[in-house]
Structure 1
Amino acid sequence: MKNIVIIGGSKGIGNAILLQQLETNCVYNISRNPPEISHPNLKHYSMDVLQDTLPEIESIDTLIYCPGSINLKPITNLSIDDFRNDFEINVIGAVKCIQQYLPQLKKGNHPSVLLFSTVAAKLGMPFHVSIATAKAGVEGLVKSLGAELASSVRINAIAPTITETSLSANILRNDRMKENMVERHPMKGYLKANEVAEMADFLISEKAKSISGQIFEMDYGIVTFKI
């Protein structure tokens, strides 16, 4: 049984990962709101990771940082604070958590860190300038920290395309928009949170013990293929 710390496990992809891991691992969830579930293997801390002092957790094998943002506007409609807020949510929060829990991770069982990027960091999509900039920072963190910690802790990231969660509800708010999103992807689909949770399960497992410093695109072909 692993000790897994999930930042942002009450909703969306983070919640899908939390539900997947609960039966076989001890899960510590840190988020502003508690998950809508109770379980003997779950301990929840209600807090804002950017503002509050992170809890002391004695033993950690895996750290998963899930918070993200979808702030889609033309650059002329974005303030400097918009850029700053997206960077703080996606990068500074991850750095704060890694710095806090790195000593425990280094003592863990096959320790690993998992972060999240986006296909927009590579694809070049209109109105994604703020989030793509922040997620590019996440990818740089994965590459650099992967090298720095190569002998002790693995770190990887998943870069999903649009995923059906509460965060993307406005983008997928009706059947027509969902159909358009399916058609935009060469493989004629888009992600569900449980699909991303399956990839996360692999990357934090011993099956991925040779993998670090990598960004895994789950893109339904939108980055990979031009058809």
Structure 2
Amino acid sequence: MMAERESGRGLKRAVVTGASSGIGQASVQALVAKGWQVVGLARREDRLRQLAEDLGGAFTYQVCDVTDEDSAQSAVDAVLKAGPVKALVNCAGGAFGKDPVATSDLDDWRGMYELNVLGTLRMIQKFMPALKKSEGTVLIISSTAGIEPYEGGGGYCASKAAERVMARILRLEMIGQPIRVIDIAPGLVHTDEFSLKRFGGDAAKAEAVYAGVPDPLTAEDIAGCVTWALEQPDTVDIDQIVVRPRAEGSYTKVYRKS
């Protein structure tokens, strides 16, 4: 065990899922700025290629759909063939629809579970052996939606609650193993795509989510939490971070300028 742990000392190579946009992209940029070598995983190769051009040799990528077994396995094999991994940052996720439970689309729920829960689980399972060897970290970007449910958020809240529970149980199961498990739960974060995708491309509905809210969180704010948590000593586990903009006390208590 000591020999395995020795191999991870000084290693700064992270894998970030959902790296082509939002919190994933911001986390890639923040980690590179802190001296990490980063491998980005996402479906959109054009976005990944542009990020590689911007960041240079510290960033490489693999096209990967975390909801597809063959795609995920191919990406993981390529990543590990290139060297050991110190951290897995699970940012891939999303919300689809905001309909009441009684009338919501089963495919929306299925899509959120496949992406937010099973996609995260799949990547954790595939990278776990390598992370144990490097005395590494599993970091999950969940959501405050997994803490406090709200009307219209049934499928998303349920999937994020499952993701948070998975993180907590994994933390308990890894006691005595050289693995840290970190859960970061953001509140209201204004990114270019999250709400737009949720409302099927309806820009007016997407912008209404943030209307009047002074200084909602940005992807860069969450990326700062990611880098801070990862850069703690290996023996220090930041179990959970709940982070919201100052204007948000909860999902139902948000200050908006009139």
What TM-score do you get using the length of structure 1 for normalisation? 0.86
For the 8 Å contact 1:171–1:177, the answer to whether it is kept is no
Query: Separation in 2 of the partners of 1:26 and 1:111?
Result: 14
How many angstroms does 1:160 deviate by?
0.9
Aligned partner of 2:195 in structure 1 is 168
Q: Specify which of 221, 234, 238 is matched with residue 195 of structure 1.
A: 221
Q: Which residue of 2 aligns with 1:32?
A: 43
How many residues get paired?
A: 218
Whether the aligned pair in 2 keeps the contact of 1:202 and 1:208 (CA below 8 Å) is: no
- The structure whose residues are more often helix, as a share, is 2
Q: Which residue of 1 aligns with 2:199?
A: none
| Contact 1:63–1:112 under 8 Å retained in 2 | yes
Q: Secondary structure at the match of 2:249?
A: coil
Alpha-carbon distance in 1 for matches of 2:51, 2:99? 35
**Structure 1, residues 75-127: CA drift from partner, whole Å, max 9, x if none?**
2332333222111101111111111111110111x411111211122222111
Contact 1:8–1:66 at 8 Å: present in 2 too? yes
Q: Residue 139 of structure 1 contacts residue 215 of structure 1 at CA under 8 Å; is this kept in 2?
A: no
Among residues 139, 143, 162, which one is paired with 2:168 in the alignment? 143
User: Taking structure 2 as the reference length, what is the TM-score of the superposition?
Assistant: 0.77
> RMSD over aligned Cα, in angstroms?
2.3
Q: Identity, % of aligned pairs?
A: 22
**Match of residue 143, structure 2, among 118, 135, 143:** 118
In structure 1, what is the equivalent of residue 59 of structure 2? 42
| Counterpart among 65, 68, 72 of residue 90 in structure 2 | 65
Instruction: Provide the residue aligned with 1:178 in structure 2.
Output: 210
Letter in 2 for 1:10: S
Mapped to 2, the partners of 1:154 and 1:138 lie a distance apart of 16
Counterparts of 1:172 and 1:161 in 2: how far apart (Å)? Answer: 18
Query: Match of 1:6, SS?
Result: strand
Deviation string for 1:158-185 (max 9, x for gaps)?
Answer: 11112111213447755x75343x1xxx
2:4 matched to which residue of 1?
Answer: none
Match of 1:6 among 11, 16, 19: 16
Q: Structure 1, unaligned stretches of length 5 or more?
A: 183-187
